[in-house]
Amino acid sequence: FLTWHEWSLPKYLILLSTTGSELSPHLVNLIPEVWKPLPTTEEIVSITDEVLEQFNVNRGEIDTNTLILASSGLTQEEIKTGLRLGLKRGSVTNEDALTFLLNYKINLLSRLNIEFIPKPEVSDFGGLDLLKQAFIEIKNKYTPEARACNLPIPKACLLVGPPGTGKSRAAKACAALLKFPLVMLDVGTIVAGGLKFLKEVLRRVEAIAPCVITFDEFDKLFAASTNSGEDIANRQVLGTLLTWLQEKKSLTYVIATLNRLRSLPPELTRAGRFDRKFYVGLPQAVERKEIIQLHAKRYDSRYTIGDGPLTESEWRILLNSSTINFSGSELEALVERAANNIFQKAFFEKRQKLETGRVYEDDPISININAFDLIEAAKTIYSLYSIDPDRIIAIQNQSKYFCEPASSPDTSQYAPPIQTFWGKPVASQTNYA
């Protein structure tokens, strides 16, 4: 038996876990939790040096920036495993090993439903000029000059609008402009995973910084019925997430998207959580023209020059008659459908001519998209506005006193004429007043 002296010594029970399991609420105040942080940049270099030495690889042969990009957000053992597997793959270059490590990281994060895009390749998106200007201002606030002026590091912005209006594409363009990797998170997965899952996700993205983080369909966090168990759990997740947004110091810029404002919790509108809030509505006439040209030039190079092959009158018919209240995704589908219709017809004709020997098998098929093709394709697209106009109008009205507009008013020659309530044209705004 133990002596009294042995019994009097303090004894500690250390519990180790790699799953991030949560303690029971009854034990939280009794058992302190210590989370081991993920490796920092300096620690990543030290960890990888150990592996590189085992494979007789000189540190000078490895690009440090690429190594850090491929390793950040992983645990020490995950970094070692990924790099060893990359270096063991037979006769590969060191660059191939880093590419393998990066893909290894992407696959690991995907198991947490985290989509990691190292270098987003979105050069532009149609319309939304005020939002584009805001992204440029965000980029300027990351400069040393902004730090010297004691300006705060940008935190987050909220993009509100109907589905398909380009919010996700805008987030990718922001990451490309900042030259940050993009981390895309599905809020539905976070809601299902609960508070424990959210903490693990935040731990990972904090280590990946600098990066742009998108929370798609942010409104799922407050979509549950009031006072239900699901609502209580969602509010715990939302509270933790908003506290993190308020207090975070890392170089993580968050872009959250909302498809609806109904049941918006008051804590979401508090100053300091989101730097700016934008309403991304259905594109105006001049924006629809930009979006159509942006997608049409993938199939028809004529759309890269000026106004493309369409005349001004053809543009007016297409914009002010055929595509009114179309979203960006619906315009993309329209162009794709028009291109496919042209291709199918040309392909069928080529098959017929091949039988008679009038063309060769390797003769290319060219796609020339004209106004008629786009107008006919538009007749087969049923816009969300035409299906559920009340929902779109409700979002627009609710956002009016909550968000900044993402687009300037359309003053182009393609803007529809001002009309009275009875549909009669108005000569000028002054006469109407």
Could you read off the pLDDT of 274-330 as tens digits, one per residue? 899 999 999 999 999 999 999 999 999 999 999 999 999 999 999 999 999 999 999
| Span 195-200, average pLDDT | 87
What predicted TM-score, i.e. pTM, was given to this entire model?
0.84
User: Partners of 212 in the beta sheet?
Assistant: 182, 253
Angle at which helices 328-356 and 285-296 cross, to 10°: 40
More confident call, 185 vs 270:
185
More confident call, 432 vs 357:
357
Residue 431's pLDDT band, with cuts at 50, 70 and 90, is very low
Compute the mean pLDDT over every residue in the chain, rounded to the nearest whole number: 85
CA–CA–CA angle 118, 119, 125 (5° rounding):
135
Q: Which amino acid is at 81?
A: T
Kindly state the percentage of the chain with pLDDT values over 90. Answer: 50
Alpha helices in 141-256 (DSSP H): 144-148, 167-178, 187-208, 229-247
Here the tokens at position 301 are 């190079």
Beta-carbon-side half-sphere exposure of residue 375 (alpha carbons within 13 Å)? 13
Query: Mapping DSSP to helix (H, G, I), strand (E, B) and coil, where does residue 214 land?
Result: strand
Here the tokens at position 302 are 């004529």
Give one word for 113, left, alpha or beta, with left for phi > 0 and alpha for psi -120 to 50. left
**pLDDT higher than 80, residue 336:** yes
**Helix-then-strand count for the chain, H and E:** 17, 7
pLDDT at res. 13: 76
Cβ 103 vs Cβ 74: under 8 Å: no
Pick from 102, 116, 115, 108: nearest CA to 70 = 102
* CATH numbers and ranges of domains, the chain: 41-111 (no CATH), 129-279 (3.40.50.300), 285-432 (no CATH)
Match 């902004």 to its residue by tokens: 146
| Span 124-138, average pLDDT | 91
Kindly state the percentage of the chain with pLDDT values over 70. Answer: 88
